[in-house]
Amino acid sequence: MKVLIAGCGDLGTETGLRFVELGHRVLGLRRNPGLLPAAISGQSIDLSREKPAVPPDTEIVIVALAAGSPTPEAYRAAYVDGLRNLLDALDEAAVTPRRFLLVSSTAVYDVSDGSWVDEQTPANPQAGTDAILLEAERMLHARIPAAVVFRLAGVYGPGRERLITQVREGRATVSARSRHTNRIHRDDAAAAIVHLMLRTEQPAPLYLGVDSAPVAGTEVLEFLADELGLPAPTITETLGPRGGDKRLRNQLLRSTGFSFSYPSYREGYRAVLAGRGTRHP
User: Measured between alpha carbons, how far is residue 74 from residues 13, 28, 229 in Å?
Assistant: 22, 21, 40
42 occurs within a structural domain:
yes
pLDDT at 178: 56
**Alpha helices, DSSP H, located in the chain:** 10-21, 72-75, 82-92, 129-143, 162-168, 186-198, 217-228, 251-255, 265-273
| Cβ neighbours of 111 (radius 10 Å) | 18
What is the tally of structural domains in the chain? 1
Task: Tell me whether residue 237 is in a domain.
Answer: no
d(CA 196, CA 175): 33
What range defines the domain where residue 95 resides? 2-158+183-211+249-261
Q: Is residue 37 part of a domain?
A: yes
CA 6 to chain CA mean position, Å:
13
* pLDDT recorded at residue 171: 86
How confident is the model at residue 172, as a pLDDT? 84
Handedness of CA 138, 14, 264, 162 (dihedral sign): negative
Is 135 inside any structural domain? yes
Residue 232 lies in a domain: no
State the pTM of this model: 0.95
Q: What is the torsion angle, in degrees rounded to the nearest 10, for the CA atoms of residue 66, residue 45, residue 39 and residue 24?
A: 80
Closest-CA residue to 157 (of 126, 119, 188, 124):
188
- Report the pLDDT value the prediction gives residue 238, as an integer from 0 to 100: 61
Stretches in the chain below the pLDDT threshold 70: 174-178, 235-243
Residue 32 lies in a domain: yes
In a domain, 221, yes or no: no
Which pLDDT score, from 0 to 100, does residue 235 have? 65
CATH number at residue 193: 3.40.50.720
Q: 149, 108 in Cβ contact below 8 A?
A: no
Residue 224 lies in a domain: no
The pLDDT value recorded for residue 71 is 98
pLDDT score, position 241: 46
Q: What are phi and psi of 173, to 5 degrees?
A: -135, 155
